[in-house]
Structures are given as C-alpha cells and as structure tokens.
Amino acid sequence: MSAVAPPLPYRVADAWDETADTRSIELVPAGRELPPFSPGQFAMIYAFGVGAVPISASALRGRHGGLVHTVRAVGAVSTALCRLRSGDTAGLSGPYGTGWDLEAAVGHDVLVIAGGIGLAPLRPVVHAVLDRPAAYGRLVILVGARTPADLVYRDEIESWRGPARVEVTVDRPGQGWRGAVGVVTTFLDHLDLRPDRTSALVCGPEVMMRHTARDLVARGLVPHRVQVSLERNMHCATGHCGHCQLGPLLLCRDGPVVGYDRVAQLLLVREL
Amino acid sequence: MSLDADGNASPAAASDGLVISRGGMAALVDVLVRRGFTVVGPTVRDGAIVLAELRSADELPYGRGVELEAGRYRLRERSDGAAFANSAGPQSWKAFLHPSRVREWSADRVGDEVVFTADQVTPPRYAFLGVRPCDLRAIAVQDRVLTGGVYRDPVYEGRRSGALLIVVECTEPGATCFCVSMGTGPAASPGYDLVMTEVVDEDGHHFWARSGSPEGAEILAELPGHPADPETQETARAGVAAAADRMGRTLPEADLRELMAGTLDAPRWDDVAGRCLTCGNCTMVCPTCFCTTTEDITDLTGDHAERWRLWDSCFDLDFSQLHGGPVRASSRSRYRQWMTHKLGTWYDQFGSSGCVGCGRCIVWCPVGIDITEEAAALHDWTRSGAPESAPESP
Amino acid sequence: MVTHLRAATEPGPATDPRPTLAVWKFASCDGCQLTLLDCEDELLGLTERVRIDHFLEMTPAEGADGERARLAGRGPYDLSLVEGSITTAEDAERIQHVRRISRYLVTIGACATAGGIQALRNFTDVDEFLDAVYAQPEYIGTLETSTPISAHVPVDFELRGCPIDRRQLLEVITAHLAGRRPQISSHSVCFECKRRGTTCITVAHGTPCLGPVTHAGCGAICPAFGRGCYGCFGPMSKPNLRSMVAQLRHDGMSERDIQRVFRTFNAASPEYAPVPDLAAEGQHSSRA
C-alpha cells in the first residue's frame, strides 16, 4: 500500500481583516495535529475544492492556541482562504521548509525589515525575540508598505515600541499620514548599526529584499548574517515537484529562508 | 536448480552466471508471470519500440533495430534477430514508477466537516525486462530525487520498492547515445536483480545472465541453460566494450556543473531559443525529469474534491507562475533552466548529474535540438574569450 | 430525457438558489453548444447545480409562459457561454447586451475565441465573395471581418477548440461553481501525447504535426490515431512559429501547405500572423 498523505482538517477558530485585501485566520486542529512550526516555516493550506497555497505562519500561537496565517487575496485559492469564517474547515499540511535561523542571531542585535505582507513571516521572529530579550541585543523593526491602508498588524506594531525600536514608512502617504515616506532602506542611514554584531532578517517583494540586503552588506554586515525569505511557485512543498527552483536551490526545502550569501549572485540573474 | 539445454538439472546460478537461449528468455517471462510480476519490456507498437506489458517473450522486438538521429527515429529490420540491439525508445521506466497521472487523495464535504481520504493503492509488482544500463542509472537518480530526501514520495516508493530490474547491457548504441560521457554505460553498474548480455554469433542466439540479488538468483535458478562458458563471456564482454567505442555523441570533457553555472549569460541561449519550440518533449521523454503539477478538481455537486498530480515541464509558461507573472517568461530562460538543471544544479540538489546520456531528448525533440551540441557550444564560448562571465560562488 | 430536462430548466421560484446559466450563439455551427447537450451523463447533475435559463438549442428561452424563443434574454445570468464570432452589425450590438446581463462570460470554441473558419474573410475582399455566392448580394448584411468576442467585450475565460472538449466545458462550469481557476493549461499538445504515452509521429514517422505550437485540451486525439495535429485548439502560449514552420518544411510541406494548415478554425489568431512571411522566407532553406 502506498498513499500520499492528505492534509489534516483544521477548523477556523477566528478570522479577521488586516487590510482591505488581507485577512488573518487562526486554525486549530479538528483532529490530529501537525508537528510544531518554527518562525519562517510554511504550511500548504488547502481551500476545499479550490486548491492549496504555501503560506508562512504569521503567529505560532494565536488567542485560541492555534496557528495564525495571514493571507492576501491575489488568486483563486487565497481569495477562497480569505472567505473562510469561524467554524469553516481548511486542510493543512506542514511544517515545511527552512525557517529563520534565530539561533545564529543569539547575542546579536536583531534587525527585522519587512515590506508589505512580508511582515507576516517575520512576526513570529518578533514574538520569539520579545520572549527572550536577554538572548539578543537590540531589536529594530523597519516596516514598509505601499500605503498606510496596506499596513498589516498596525496595533501590534505600536505595542512593539518600547521593547523594540520601530520605524514605519509608506510609499504613498495620502491624507492623515504623519509618519515617514519612502523605502525602508532610508532608515538604515539613521540607525546606529553595529555591523559585526547584527543579524538582519528581511522579507518583502524580491526587489526590495535585493536592495535591502545589498545595502546591509554595503554597511558592513556579513552576507550570511542577512537572511531573506524568497517566494517561488510551489506545488508539493516536499522537494518533488520542481517548481520552486532558484538555480541550485529548491526553495521549499533549502528555503524559503536563505542566507543572502547563497542567493546574492542568483538574484542578479534575470529569469533564473 | 536450473536445467541445461537438454532439460537436465545443472548447478544453480553458478557465480559466472548462466547462458540461456531464446527458449530460456521465454521461460524467464513465464517464471516472472508465475511469480506474480507484471512484466514490462520492449515491444513494437506504432512503429517504435515502446515499453509495455508483456505476456510472453514472443512480444520482444526480435530482429528489430532502430536508426536514431536528432529529431528522427526509425525502426529497421535486423538480420541477426537480436531483441535488445536497439537503444532508448520513446518512453522510459518512469512511465511506470512515476506515472504521468495519479490521484493523490480526495476530500468530501459532509455537513460542516471536510473528510480527507488518502488514495490507497496497491501498485502492481513490476518486473522490468530489458532495462538499459543508462536507464538503470536513471532509476537510481529518480530514487535519490523522490525517496532520498526528508520526504519520500509514496507513489514512487510503492512502485519502486517491489520492482524487479532485469538489465540488458548495451551492445548497439544509437547515434544519439553518450552514456560513456556520463559514465553510465554501456556496461551495467550495480543495482539490478538480473543482468544479461545478448550474444548473437555462429553458435546461435544466447543471453549471458547473472544475478545481482537473492531474488535474481532464485529466478535464474529456475531457468533452463548452461553455466556460462569462457567463450560466451568473452564474446559478450567484447560486444559491450565495442559498444563503448561506438558512442554517437559525447559531452565536452569539462566540469559540466561549472560550465553551466558560468555560462548563464552566454549568447548561445538566444540561439537555441530561436529553435526551441518550448513543447516540453525533451522533459517528458527524459528518464530523470521528475517535475509534476497538481490539479485540484471538484465534481458537479461541489461537495467532492480530488487532488491529482500530473507530469509537468519547466517549458510550460505556467511552471514558474507567481502572482505578477511567470519568473521564466522567455523561451531562452526555460531552455536554460532545463539544461543547467540537468547538467549542473542537479549536483547541488541531489548529488549527481541529472543526465545519464540516453539521448532521448535529442531524438524526441521535434526540431532536433542536441544537448551535446549545446553543451559543446557553451564550452567553446568559455574557451574563446567569453566576456567576464559570473561564475557562481559555490 | 428531454422532458426531464425541460422540467429541470423551468424557472424556479425566486428563492431558487441555483446560479443561472445562459448559452448564446453568434456566427457558428452550433457544434460547441451541442457539446453541452453531449454531456449526457452529467447533464441532469448539472441542472441540479445551475438553472439553464437561456439555451435555444434545448428549450424555448424564457418559454415557460408560452412566450416564443428570443435571441436576446432577459438576464441577468451568472454564467454565460458564448459560441460564435461577430460578423454582423446586429451581433456587434447583441454581444454588448449579453455582456451587460452576464456576470461571468466564457467564450466556447474557436469561433468565439479566435473568429473561426469564417475569419478567412479577414484576409480577402468580402464583397467579392458576396458577388460570387449570392444572386442578390444587396440583401446580405455582413461585416468585413469575423472577430472574436474579446474584440468587443471583456471576456472572463476563453475555452478553445473546434469543437470544444466536453470535459473541459464541464471543468469550466464546475470550476466556476467552486470558485476556482479552471484546470486548463495553455501548453503544447505534446504534453498530452507524452502523458498518454503516444509515440511522437513527427519523430517516428516524419508526419507533419502542429502539436508543438498548439494549445492543449483535446487530449491529443489525432496523434493517437497516427494523424498530425491540425491545430483546432489554436496557438499555445508564446508559440515559436518560426521554428515550427521550418520543421513543417523539413517534414515535406510546401509553402502553400504551410500557409493553409494555419488558415483554418483559428486563422485569425494574432499568433499566426507571421506564418505567411515565415513560410515564404524559408522556402529555400531547411533545418541544418
């Protein structure tokens, strides 16, 4: 007998809007439970009859003790996931992939840099660092978004001020925005960076990660201390379907989080 | 115990193996069928030597050879009556081990619940008769890809674990073969249950058979034949050695992984893109290409859903689709992905080359694109003062 | 069967939860619409899921109250299947109406998606045809061109084929009902030959075949019967026609044959536009 394991049924314990097109859903096991997730690892979430997509966990333990995922409605599956309401069932498999290497950051200042919904996979990092403040140096969180309306976790971001230095910027401010305008990397000039004892964790659009990582290295960070979380088409999440290749990497297996030292050259090759 | 040509019992499977006749080959298929195997081997269908279920050894392509060239395959008669003097055909064993279409599981909506059901399948127990040495290595490559990592593909594993592999060494390479370049043939490397070498000479039509596993030895012991004599062994070895000298193609003698990593900007990719149809044939016939896509479907009630898995290809525009468009939109980048993966990044991902030199991608490309020619062109480019190429850091 | 169907398609009460389906015909042969009726095993199941409100091939439209069948439906409809191309001024108006009363509009078949065989007129002088064919051409009202539906209104999904494949039609409908993307790929027919284990007829027999540039979906029927694909599903995404034309020449086709093989049901597909020049320019060269 041989059989591919289907997803496990998980029940939506809670679901709420983050922005106009982005929702978070907290999932609790309806029966058997998946092994624990680490920050940066992802699940394949199956919307009944529609399909499955890879989504990194945005909180490892929600208010109901479940896994939280933040989903932006950009395709059929993500739209179906955004339509889930409390009590609905989704299929979950995972945890998949290589997450953020937080152990490598112990003793270091932790620099979290997020663009848009890229903050979602980084939020468990913030939680983990805030849970063990003694293990790390300073925590600096730089968040960028297209517009103020595209900022996710706005209230929670405010709650991080104090234990962390938090800077938020938008590309297009609109009415009533009193914060910074521009790309997140502009903050780098105003940080008292200690390059030899800083670990940076970056997630956002690929072009943003490329520029950010390059700027960080230019400011003296060792490339392998800059971690990025990359996205490619994924079907199986088990290294067998071939879709998520980036040169020598299978991003579902070797990623999604990889050291910039491994991808700096790869990201420069067009259409790799 | 085995029987000799006169039907007398002879010492079972001597270490030097057994020489069997065409009658012995017929007995082999009978033994395999009796043991409950689904026997798959080469047979002529639709003007090609395909792999299909065999009910008897009569269906083997006795007296049929092939003429191969880039983009061209023709059957031809062979006066010597040999069954295995033909090289790789239109399919490979992956059609059986890694099927083109599999239902993985289904899901039903029952009230508020969703019930998932695994697709429990007991695969047939295959005996593959006539695996070429290059294809044996291709199976080993897919073993590593699909069962060698943290996750094991249960569909492949279920079919592979019970499969009996009967290799026939290569004595007649095609014009598109380059197994010597890849170190995969024409002699068999370990991993088989039985290996045979076909000998047609003035003494008749024989197969020198040796076992490579206890099960292979058991089967061999049931076949009529006589212990291998030195002359037959010598003729067989000479036939395989001669095949090594008659390879139709070679790959450049260079570190191919380095060559691929260092030529990502070569103008040759534009040249091949002008010819490439992006039809996907090379990937589908490749015995190691493993990529699949998933299809989630529903029935009309909307309460029953299924997950299917199908062969996919990096030549499909949708293969690299992300929100915002495909990563590899140009045909240049898609051909480059295929070839650099096959010859280069496969090492990084799975510890070996992805190419075994079977030549199928050359033969079955409708426009005859030749991976050995493309590799040679890239190699020439690096040696003829390529502009500062950017070799990747290891 | 028909009686049952009629019962199943009668307008239900206002509380009928079923989405409504409409089928529309423009310039076409009706073959694609008939594919819906050809879904014999699934048709009753389908009518449990959707209410077929407008389908002249099957039932008098809006006919429950004895009203005669009409070309234009009332709507609105959740899902409209549109067959045929636009060849008259009236149809150019009517498609606007259909679009207005349709939430999700799917074109079915080569006529609706590419202009059909009737788009051969696009390459010549229509008045000449009219004079040659009709005794009194002044009675014929027609446009100079046959154009796909997408040239007139936004289209949500285009289903290929001449005719369409019934499994694909069911897939589009069930996918729409489930809110998912239809599992319909735009790669070559070669994928389908290989998945079903058909030996390539071009490579093994030298048979000219459009499979490498043709949109999949038929299940690769023709090559399975030893016949070259003639492209009834139209071009795949980003076909390499230069290489295909060179290969057809290599396989023995003349410039005229090559031009003609692309001048069929999908003749007006923009992807095929370079074919005449490609066929002419390479006449004296062939694959190395």
- pLDDT, one tens digit per residue, over A9-45 is 999 999 999 999 999 999 999 999 999 999 999 999 9
> Taking the CA atoms of chain C, what radius of gyration do you get in angstroms?
21
In which residue ranges of chain A is CATH 2.40.30.10 found?
Answer: 8-96
* Contacting residues of B for A223, CB less than 8 Å apart: none
* Contacting residues of A for B307, CB less than 8 Å apart: 4, 6
Q: What is the pLDDT of residue C286?
A: 46
- pLDDT, one tens digit per residue, over C244-275 is 999 999 999 999 999 999 999 999 999 999 99
Interface subset of B 209-228, CB within 8 angstroms of C: none
Q: Do C181 and A76 touch (CB under 8 A)?
A: yes
**Mean pLDDT value across residues B218-244:** 95
Alpha carbon C253 to its chain's center: 26
Closest residue of chain C to A50, computed from CA coordinates: C180
Residue C17: which pLDDT band, with cuts at 50, 70 and 90? confident
Closest residue of chain C to A49, computed from CA coordinates: C178
Q: What is the pLDDT of residue B114?
A: 94
* Contacting residues of B for C203, CB less than 8 Å apart: 71-73, 90, 363-366
Neighbours of C138 (CB within 10 A): 7
* Contacting residues of B for C209, CB less than 8 Å apart: 366
Which strand ranges, in their side-by-side order, compose the sheet holding B164-168? B48-53, B38-45, B126-131, B164-168, B194-201, B204-211, B18-21, B226-227
Q: What is the interface pTM, i.e. ipTM, of the complex?
A: 0.93
| A186 in reach of chain C (CB within 8 A) | no
> What's the DSSP call for residue C139?
G
Query: Could you tell me if A27 and A64 are in contact, meaning their C-beta atoms sit under 8 angstroms apart?
Result: no
Residue B391: which pLDDT band, with cuts at 50, 70 and 90? very low
Beta-carbon-side half-sphere exposure of residue B51 (alpha carbons within 13 Å): 27
**Mean pLDDT value across residues B329-351:** 97
Distance CA C107, CA C152 (A): 12
| A243 in reach of chain C (CB within 8 A) | no
Alpha-carbon distance C94 to nearest alpha carbon in chain B (angstroms) = 30
Distance CA A226, CA A195 (A): 11
Residue B13: which pLDDT band, with cuts at 50, 70 and 90? very low
The DSSP line for A118-142 is GHHHHHHHHHHHHH-GGGSS-EEEE
Residue B8: which pLDDT band, with cuts at 50, 70 and 90? very low
- Substitution target in C157, C180, C185, C238 with the highest count of A β-carbons within 10 Å is C180
Closest residue of chain B to A230, computed from CA coordinates: B322
* Contacting residues of C for B299, CB less than 8 Å apart: 45, 174
The DSSP line for B54-92 is -SSGGGS-TTEEEEEETTEEEEEE-TT--SS-----S--
Q: Do B116 and A7 touch (CB under 8 A)?
A: yes
* Contacting residues of C for A79, CB less than 8 Å apart: 179
Q: Percent of chain B having pLDDT more than 70?
A: 94
Q: Find, among C44, C173, C200, the residue nearest to C108 by Cα.
A: C173
Q: Do A2 and B157 touch (CB under 8 A)?
A: yes
| B300 in reach of chain A (CB within 8 A) | no
- Substitution target in B44, B75, B109, B300 with the highest count of C β-carbons within 10 Å is B300
Residue C277: which pLDDT band, with cuts at 50, 70 and 90? very high
Interface subset of B 233-292, CB within 8 angstroms of A: 261, 264-265, 290-292
Query: Could you tell me if A43 and A66 are in contact, meaning their C-beta atoms sit under 8 angstroms apart?
Result: no
Return the minimum-mean-pLDDT range out of A259-268, B7-16, B329-338, C87-96: B7-16
Q: Percent of chain B having pLDDT more than 90?
A: 89
Q: What is the pLDDT of residue C30?
A: 94
Closest residue of chain C to A78, computed from CA coordinates: C180
Q: Do A49 and C180 touch (CB under 8 A)?
A: yes
Residue C160: exposure state from Cβ atoms within 10 A (0-12, 13-18, ≥19): buried
| Topology of the domain covering C2-178 | Rossmann fold (3.40.50)
Query: Could you tell me if A78 and A120 are in contact, meaning their C-beta atoms sit under 8 angstroms apart?
Result: no
Q: Find, among A104, A227, A241, A51, the residue nearest to B149 by Cα.
A: A241
Neighbours of B351 (CB within 10 A): 11
Residue B237: which pLDDT band, with cuts at 50, 70 and 90? very high
| pLDDT surpasses 50 at B1 | no
Distances (CA, A) of B120 to A90, A130, B38, B294: 22, 46, 19, 18
Query: Could you tell me if C61 and C39 are in contact, meaning their C-beta atoms sit under 8 angstroms apart?
Result: no
- pLDDT, one tens digit per residue, over B283-316 is 999 999 999 999 999 998 889 999 999 999 999 9
User: Pick from B47, B275, B365: which is nearest to C204 by CB?
Assistant: B47
Closest residue of chain A to B304, computed from CA coordinates: A49
Neighbours of B190 (CB within 10 A): 10
Alpha-carbon distance B292 to nearest alpha carbon in chain A (angstroms) = 5
Q: What is the pLDDT of residue B365?
A: 98
Q: Do B100 and C197 touch (CB under 8 A)?
A: yes
Query: B75-93 burial, b for 16+ CB within 10 Å, e for fewer?
Result: beebeeebbbbbbbbbbbb
Q: What is the pLDDT of residue C6?
A: 42
| pLDDT surpasses 70 at B53 | yes
Q: Do B314 and A242 touch (CB under 8 A)?
A: yes
Q: Do C204 and B279 touch (CB under 8 A)?
A: no
Closest residue of chain A to B102, computed from CA coordinates: A4
- pLDDT, one tens digit per residue, over A160-169 is 999 999 999 9
- pLDDT, one tens digit per residue, over B182-225 is 999 999 999 999 999 999 998 899 999 999 999 999 999 999 99
Q: What is the pLDDT of residue B376?
A: 97
* Contacting residues of A for C180, CB less than 8 Å apart: 49-51, 76-77, 80
Q: Do B294 and A271 touch (CB under 8 A)?
A: no
* Contacting residues of B for A90, CB less than 8 Å apart: 114
| pLDDT surpasses 60 at C13 | no
Q: Could you say which architecture CATH assigns to the domain A103-268? A: 3-Layer(aba) Sandwich (3.40)
* Contacting residues of A for B327, CB less than 8 Å apart: 232-233, 271-272
Q: Which residue has the tokens 């071939």?
A: A242
User: Pick from C195, C213, C243: which is nearest to B100 by CB?
Assistant: C195
Q: Do B118 and A74 touch (CB under 8 A)?
A: no
Residue C72: which pLDDT band, with cuts at 50, 70 and 90? low
Distance CA B18, CA C105 (A): 69
Give the type of residue at B19.
V
Q: Do C203 and B313 touch (CB under 8 A)?
A: no
State the DSSP H helix or E strand holding residue A260, giving kind and residue range, or none if neither.
helix A260-263
Q: What is the pLDDT of residue B9?
A: 40
Q: Which residue has the tokens 């020619």?
A: B373
Interface subset of B 193-212, CB within 8 angstroms of C: none
Instruction: For the domain covering A8-96, report its CATH number.
Output: 2.40.30.10
| pLDDT surpasses 70 at C148 | yes
Residue B384: which pLDDT band, with cuts at 50, 70 and 90? confident
Q: Do C180 and A75 touch (CB under 8 A)?
A: no
Helix, strand, or coil here: A240? coil
Per-residue pLDDT in tens (0 to 9) along chain A, 272 residues: 578 999 999 999 999 999 999 999 999 999 999 999 999 999 999 999 999 999 999 999 999 999 999 999 999 999 999 999 999 999 999 999 999 999 999 999 999 999 999 999 999 999 999 999 999 999 999 999 999 999 999 999 999 999 999 999 999 998 889 999 999 988 998 888 999 999 999 999 999 999 999 999 999 999 999 999 999 999 999 999 999 999 999 999 999 999 999 999 999 999 99
Alpha-carbon distance B195 to nearest alpha carbon in chain A (angstroms) = 28
Distance CA C260, CA C275 (A): 10
Q: What is the pLDDT of residue A2?
A: 73
| Domain spans of chain C, in order of start | 2-178, 189-281
